[in-house]
Amino acid sequence: MVITMSDPDCAVALRLPPEPGTYALVLSCTARRSIRVGQLGTMRLQPGFYVYVGSALGPGGLRARIMHHLRRVERPHWHIDYLRMLAQVDQLWYRCDRMRLEHRCAQALEAVPGVRVPLPGFGASDCRCGSHLFLFKRRPSRTSFEGWLRASGRGRSQLRQGAGYMQDLLQDLTRASSSAAASRTRGRGATAV
């Protein structure tokens, strides 16, 4: 499912399912500043679009996690909380699933030509990924994201099980896009990107 946060009805985020899942936040930033990200270090922000991938497998699932990310917190808990102090959530892509797919998404994004990793280890302190945060000069689209996931299938020997999960993710994203278009027609506020 894809949600554009600039929609007039941002309350659609409140209707996210309380189910476990994987998500990607697309954040826009116009600032050129340095921010301290906990003990991880200092990140130099540049104007552009940041894509952060994560999972929400605990209590409250996607709804609880995304609602946390939409609020600006005084006491940051996760690395993304520090970035949220200066960046706006622009889009949300998500999939309901008990499988932890954030690592497959991070691997796909890291392989995109021209993408930058603004701070190694961001959002990845509990895994072997290089980062879960990626910087793009232009706003990435859901269609591009699907293409990157498909392209990441070239590492099938490492992602034998993951390749099937990615195909499921791509099918769900495609179905969600169609559903979102139908919802928009009915006036629910979700927008396919």
pLDDT tens for residues 57-112?
999 999 889 888 888 788 898 999 999 989 988 888 888 889 888 998 999 899 88
Mean pLDDT (whole number) for 168-191 = 41
Measured distance CA(125)–CA(106) in Å, rounded: 13
Which pLDDT belongs to residue 42? Answer: 94
Q: From 49, 92, 52, 97, select the one nearest 189 (Cα to Cα).
A: 92
3-state secondary structure of 90: strand
Q: Is residue 192 part of a domain?
A: no
Q: Is residue 57 part of a domain?
A: yes
Tokens 């928009």 belong to 184
Mean pLDDT (whole number) for 30-52 = 93
Q: Is residue 90 part of a domain?
A: yes
Q: Is the dihedral of CA 65, 26, 98, 184 positive or negative?
A: positive
Instruction: Give Cβ neighbours of residue 112 (< 8 Å, ≥ 6 apart).
Output: 134, 136, 148
Which pLDDT belongs to residue 160? Answer: 22
pTM for this predicted structure = 0.74
Q: Is the pLDDT reported for residue 159 higher than 80?
A: no
Instruction: Give the helix ranges, DSSP H, for the chain.
Output: 61-70, 79-84, 102-110, 142-151, 160-186
Cβ-contact 2, 90 below 8 angstroms: no
Which pLDDT belongs to residue 153? Answer: 62
Domain tally, the chain: 1
Domain hosting residue 181, numbered range: 2-186
Which pLDDT belongs to residue 96? Answer: 87
Cβ-contact 146, 171 below 8 angstroms: no
Q: Is residue 128 part of a domain?
A: yes
Q: What is the pLDDT of residues 111-158, one digit of tens each?
A: 888 899 999 999 999 899 999 999 999 998 877 877 777 776 633 322
Which pLDDT belongs to residue 95? Answer: 83
Q: Is residue 145 part of a domain?
A: yes
Q: Is the pLDDT reported for residue 170 higher than 50?
A: no
Measured distance CA(10)–CA(49) in Å, rounded: 20
Mean pLDDT (whole number) for 159-185 = 38
